[in-house]
Copies of this chain bind each other. A is one copy, B any other.
Amino acid sequence: MSTRELLEAVATGAASVEEAIEQLRHLPFKDIGVATVDAHRAVRQGVPEVIFGQGKTGAQVLAISRALLESGQNVLVTRLDEPRAAELSAAIPATRYNALARVARIEPNPIERRKAAGVVAVVTGGTSDLPVAEEACETLEAVGIEVDRMFDVGVAGIHRLLHRVEQLRRASAVIAIAGMEGALPSVVGGIVSAPVIAVPTSIGYGTALAGFTPLLAMLTSCASGITVVNIDNGFGAALAVHRTIMACERALQGA
């Protein structure tokens, strides 16, 4: 019995007020329309169902993918290694796999370009940061956001970055990805006024501390207004940008 049915029963006298109070307590929240569910759904608006591949067997990934496709949704799988990607592709030939990003996408529904999103810059300090960058790019593209890749523009050869200043300033948001000392977001943050999401990577050895050194450096950045996500979390950075784009779209709708 849904909330509506319950209330109708009260209206018709088929249920007493006491009975209704008791039942309201136990109805699934989504039935009484508690906001969390809607909010939850809202978060996912325009986002394909995402499968976090790490720790799942190939069979599990396949089963969930099929269920999502049957319910009419696109599929995005992150942290999927090549053997399991091959399994998925064998079973669902429409699968497109980006080995560098460890991301698989199955998209029966066309991705609509989010025009309000403009172009989002994904910038890396070195070529070793590419897997994380590609995870971000694939996620952005899966939600319809256009990406401008600027790779290997780290601060030890600062001219490489400065060469791209105009290009950077055209971006509606910047995902700045760096390992080692993690200085890239500080420099980028001083150059652009757009949101800058910093992603530390686990590149490097010894004092790189598996990504904790760039993480700490980014959190301590002397460029104000930079925000940071977990080490190697290209997916999270993309979703953070997506939240910004949704804010802009709401602002446009309100305008």
Contacts and interface: CB of A to CB of B under 8 A. Distances in A.
Interface of A: 3-4, 7-8, 10-11, 13, 16-17, 20-21, 24-26, 28-30, 32-40, 42-43, 45, 50, 54-55, 116, 118, 125-126, 128, 154-159, 162-163, 165-166, 168-169, 172-173, 180-183, 186-187, 189-197, 200, 202-233, 235-237, 239-240, 242-244, 246-252, 254-255
A116 B39 CA distance: 22
Contacts of A212: 216
Given A34-B25, A165-B35, A252-B252, A126 B222 contact: yes
Contacts of A155: 155, 183, 186-187, 190, 222-223
A162 B156 contact: no
Given A205-B230, A239-B225, A7 B36 contact: no
Nearest to A27: B163
A240 B200 CA distance: 18
Given A217-B213, A247-B172, A251-B248, A21 B33 contact: yes
B162 A40 contact: no
Contact of A231 (B30, B205, B215): B205
Copies per assembly: 8
A200 B220 CA distance: 13
A168 B4 CA distance: 25
Q: What does DSSP make chain A's interface, helix, strand, loop or mixed? A: helix
A38 B55 CA distance: 39
A57 B70 CA distance: 40
16 contacts: A7-B21, A10-B10, A25-B33, A36-B190, A39-B190, A43-B190, A43-B192, A155-B186, A158-B162, A172-B247, A195-B247, A209-B216, A213-B216, A214-B217, A225-B240, A225-B243
A166 B25 contact: yes
A99 B212 CA distance: 31
Nearest to A255: B252
Contact of A116 (B3, B26, B202, B255): B255
B221 A181 contact: yes
A240 B217 contact: no
B165 A39 contact: yes
Contacts of A243: 193-196, 225
A214 to B, nearest CB: 8
Contact of A165 (B34, B193, B251): B34
